[in-house]
């Protein structure tokens, strides 16, 4: 559930973030109208608490996967909430790429696509990996709420068994698993980011 | 050297912000000859960076024309602009290398951009690494290199697509004097070997003195002086140029000598003689003594070189009849020396004819 959402959110959030950056003022393809429209859409997506988004987009979820409950029904809202989140992370990371390097690429005669593919993303890849890590951790946390629509997973387990059936051992086990999972993902992300960073 | 490779015609650029308009370039007219090293010097904010960047259109002027080779740069867009830029290499003060790529990858970058076949890229990268003396650093990342080595990578990258012009944006300003010297020598070397035209901007007259053939002095967006470097040093016409030259030649009169001059006004004929080129080879002092029957007392002397041209100044005390002193000074000016009278005959500065 988290994995599928993460992959889709990365695939869609990355281009969205790139578009946000390059259309921004003073960047390689400034376009105020596109920039502010995208920014507003991203902000709307970011302003809804996940539990509200989850129920608010039920019709959309049904349209996409045919159901609004279960694991399948949880993937859609998880992805929808993660895309703008990841897009903002991408934006922040790409804005940190030294403008001098972009200027050098322009002076060399690089096209916009070449600047994105050969300069912006490679220069930011360490930061992007940390962004994906961040996104994964948030998705795990959101996925617990997906338990509310019968989304399965750890949240489901903790609420149904640990809370509703008064089984503190299940609750404790869930917490421990979550802590280990998040630690593991974060360590993996940090390690990869370090490997990719040549600054 | 010969025909012009870059021509500026009435180029003007202003920056507008909310509450003010700043004119970065005012009516610039400039010709840069093919194969020369052309220096643009000015204090920060003078507009030299804008001037340089408008050549490859990183800055877009409001009006005027900039012709590079046969191409009018100001109207180029899209693909044509990118193709024109490939023929203009550029290096930067902060190198602007891709931190995610090795030395090899950085030099290969412009070749990839130009769509060069991989086998050719490899050959060219090795060739360029050899040229800049980094053949043993190909697998290093920029973070593992010194400033001078980074600029060498920058130079190799800029030369990758066989440009006709190399733009240097304060290329040595972040380097220590020794490294600056070695980078300047490398630039001199590629200029001579490849016949590459180099246009550099700097705030250090030392850079101009060391490698430039011609120089333009820019102030408040205007070119206030322009010509061969030797001429600028020999005969600066503006105060700012004189100030730059004073720093370059360290030719401030020593303090105790200054006190001496000031404490003995009117006694003798204290003059300062600036000489350069051919005049430096003449037995000037001997002539003064023999031909004009003067007593010559040398108080201070300094000799320097602008590339291969000797350049220097003397402070001498001339004693003799007023007539003889006057004719002697006329003779010196005829030789191409510039004379500054420190006291005595006249209190004004005499200027030699150009």
The residue ranking higher by pLDDT, B345 or A135, is A135
What domains lie within chain B, and their CATH numbers?
A: 4-243 (3.40.50.300), 250-350 (3.30.70.260)
Using an 8 Å CB-CB cutoff, list chain B residues near A109.
Answer: 81-86, 110, 113-114, 161
Q: What is the pLDDT of residue B139?
A: 95
Q: What is the pLDDT of residue B31?
A: 94
Q: What is the pLDDT of residues A154-191, one digit of tens each?
A: 777 777 777 788 888 888 888 898 899 999 999 999 99
Question: Band of the pLDDT at B265, cuts 50, 70, 90?
Answer: low
Mean pLDDT of the B308-313 span: 79
Going by their DSSP bridges, the two strands B63-68 and B4-16 should be labelled as: antiparallel
Number of domains in chain A: 1
Q: Confirm if A118 and A110 have CB atoms less than 8 A apart.
A: yes
Q: What is the pLDDT of residue B345?
A: 44
Subunit contact A100:B92, Cβ cutoff 8 A: yes
pTM, entire model? 0.83
Percent of chain B with pLDDT over 90: 54
Tokens standing for B232?
Answer: 């600028």
**What are the φ/ψ torsions at residue B218 (nearest 5 degrees)?**
-120, 135
Question: Band of the pLDDT at B134, cuts 50, 70, 90?
Answer: very high
| Minimal Cβ distance to B58: which of A106, A111, A122 | A106
B338-341, strands of its sheet edge to edge: B295-306, B309-319, B269-276, B338-341
Q: Is the pLDDT of residue B347 over 50?
A: no
Question: Band of the pLDDT at A16, cuts 50, 70, 90?
Answer: very high
Question: Band of the pLDDT at B270, cuts 50, 70, 90?
Answer: confident
Q: What is the pLDDT of residue B266?
A: 55
Q: Is the pLDDT of residue A87 over 80?
A: yes
Candidate from A56-60, A65-69, A121-125, B73-77 with smallest mean pLDDT? A65-69
Percent of chain A with pLDDT over 70: 97
Mean pLDDT of the B310-322 span: 83
Q: What is the pLDDT of residue B322?
A: 83
Q: What is the pLDDT of residue B306?
A: 78
Subunit contact B100:A103, Cβ cutoff 8 A: no
**What are the φ/ψ torsions at residue B274 (nearest 5 degrees)?**
-100, 125
Q: How far is A125 from chain B (nearest CA, A)?
A: 9
Question: Band of the pLDDT at B264, cuts 50, 70, 90?
Answer: low
- Taking the C-alpha atoms of B327, B329, B332 and B336 in order, what is their torsion angle to the nearest 10 degrees? -120
Q: How far is B105 from chain A (nearest CA, A)?
A: 11
Residues 134-153 of B with CB under 8 A from A: 141-143
Rounded distance between C-alpha atoms, residue A62 and residue B288, angstroms: 105
Rounded distance between C-alpha atoms, residue A130 and residue A191, angstroms: 10
Mean pLDDT of the B241-250 span: 78
Tokens standing for B300?
Answer: 């201070």
Using an 8 Å CB-CB cutoff, list chain B residues near A101.
Answer: 96-99
Q: What is the pLDDT of residues A115-156, one digit of tens each?
A: 999 999 999 999 999 999 999 999 988 887 777 666 667 777
Q: What is the pLDDT of residue B236?
A: 84
**What is the Cα gyration radius of chain B?**
24
Subunit contact A108:B157, Cβ cutoff 8 A: yes
Query: Which SS3 state, helix, strand or coil, does residue B67 take?
Result: strand
Candidate from A32-46, A137-151, B240-254, B335-349 with smallest mean pLDDT? B335-349
Q: What is the pLDDT of residue A114?
A: 96
Q: Is the pLDDT of residue B350 over 60?
A: no
Using an 8 Å CB-CB cutoff, list chain B residues near A198.
Answer: 99-100, 141-143
Q: Confirm if B350 and B341 have CB atoms less than 8 A apart.
A: yes
Q: Which 8-state DSSP code applies to residue B349?
A: B
Q: What is the pLDDT of residues B63-114, one digit of tens each?
A: 999 999 989 998 888 899 999 999 999 999 999 999 999 999 999 999 999 9
Q: What is the pLDDT of residue B352?
A: 38
Q: Confirm if B302 and B312 have CB atoms less than 8 A apart.
A: yes
Q: What is the pLDDT of residue B338?
A: 81
Q: Is the pLDDT of residue B348 over 60?
A: no
Query: Residue B158: which of B94, B89, B108 has the closest Cα?
Result: B89
Q: What is the pLDDT of residue B250?
A: 65
Candidate from A46-60, B53-67, B294-308 with smallest mean pLDDT? B294-308
Subunit contact B99:A105, Cβ cutoff 8 A: no
Question: Band of the pLDDT at B2, cuts 50, 70, 90?
Answer: low
Q: How far is A10 from chain B (nearest CA, A)?
A: 21
Subunit contact B100:A122, Cβ cutoff 8 A: yes
B63-68, strands of its sheet edge to edge: B21-33, B4-16, B63-68, B71-72
Q: What are the residues whose beta carbons fall under 8 Å from the beta carbon of A137, sequence distance 6 or more?
A: A182, A185, A186
Question: Band of the pLDDT at B349, cuts 50, 70, 90?
Answer: very low
Element (H, E) at B199: strand B197-202
Tokens standing for B14?
Answer: 């202003």
Residue of A nearest to B85 (CA): A109
Question: Band of the pLDDT at B268, cuts 50, 70, 90?
Answer: low
Q: Which domain holds residue A153?
A: 2-196
Element (H, E) at A169: helix A168-196
Candidate from A78-92, B156-170, B268-282 with smallest mean pLDDT? B268-282
Subunit contact B100:A98, Cβ cutoff 8 A: no
Q: Is the pLDDT of residue A26 over 90?
A: no
């Amino acid at each position: 559930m988290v994995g599928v959402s993460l992959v889709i959110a990365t695939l869609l959030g990355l281009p969205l973030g790139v578009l946000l950056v390059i259309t921004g003022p003073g960047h390689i393809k400034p376009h105020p109208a596109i920039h502010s429209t995208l920014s507003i859409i991203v902000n709307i997506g970011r302003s809804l608490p996940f539990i509200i988004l989850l129920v608010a987009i039920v019709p959309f979820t049904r349209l996409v996967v045919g159901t609004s409950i279960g694991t399948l029904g949880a993937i859609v809202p998880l992805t929808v909430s993660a895309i703008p989140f990841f897009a903002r992370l991408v934006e922040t990371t790409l804005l940190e790429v030294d403008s001098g390097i972009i200027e050098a690429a322009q002076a060399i005669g690089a096209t916009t696509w070449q600047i994105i593919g050969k300069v912006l993303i490679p220069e930011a890849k360490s930061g992007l990996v940390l962004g994906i890590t961040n996104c994964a951790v948030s998705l795990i946390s959101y996925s617990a709420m997906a338990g509310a629509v019968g989304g399965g997973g750890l949240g489901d387990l903790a609420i149904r068994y640990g809370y509703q059936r008064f089984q503190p051992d299940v609750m404790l086990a869930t917490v421990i698993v979550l802590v280990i999972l998040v630690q593991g993902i974060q360590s993996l992300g940090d390690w990869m980011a370090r490997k990719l960073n040549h600054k | 050297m010969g025909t012009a490779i870059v021509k500026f015609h009435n180029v003007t650029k202003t920056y507008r912000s909310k509450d003010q308009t700043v004119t970065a370039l005012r009516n610039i007219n400039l010709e840069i000859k093919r194969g020369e090293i052309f220096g643009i010097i000015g204090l920060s904010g003078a507009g030299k960076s804008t001037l340089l960047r408008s050549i490859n259109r990183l800055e877009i002027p409001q009006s005027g024309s900039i012709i590079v080779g046969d191409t009018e740069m100001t109207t180029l867009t899209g693909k044509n602009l990118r193709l024109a830029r490939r023929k203009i290499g550029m290096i930067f003060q902060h190198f602007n290398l891709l931190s995610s790529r090795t030395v090899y990858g950085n030099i290969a970058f412009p070749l990839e951009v130009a769509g060069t076949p991989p086998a050719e890229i490899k050959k060219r990268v090795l060739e360029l690494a050899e040229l800049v003396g980094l053949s043993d650093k190909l697998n290093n990342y920029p973070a593992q290199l010194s400033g001078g080595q980074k600029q060498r990578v920058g130079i190799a990258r800029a030369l990758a697509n066989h440009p006709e012009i190399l733009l240097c944006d304060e290329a040595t300003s972040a380097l220590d004097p020794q490294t600056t010297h070695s980078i300047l020598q490398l630039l001199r070397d590629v200029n001579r070997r490849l016949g590459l035209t180099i246009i550099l901007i700097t705030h250090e007259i030392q850079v101009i003195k060391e490698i430039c053939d011609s120089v333009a002095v820019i102030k408040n967006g205007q070119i206030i002086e322009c010509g061969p470097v030797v001429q600028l040093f020999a005969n600066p016409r503006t105060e700012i140029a004189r100030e730059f030259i004073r720093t370059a030649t360290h030719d401030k009169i020593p303090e105790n000598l200054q006190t001496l001059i000031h404490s003995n006004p009117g006694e003798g004929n204290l003059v300062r003689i600036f000489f350069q080129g051919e005049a430096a080879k003449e037995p000037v002092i001997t002539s003064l003594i023999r031909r004009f029957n003067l007593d010559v007392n040398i108080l201070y002397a300094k000799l320097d070189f602008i590339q291969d041209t000797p350049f220097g100044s003397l402070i001498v005390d001339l004693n003799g009849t007023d007539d003889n002193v006057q004719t002697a000074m006329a003779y010196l000016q005829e030789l191409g020396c510039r004379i500054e009278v420190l006291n005595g005959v006249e209190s004004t500065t005499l200027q030699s004819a150009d």
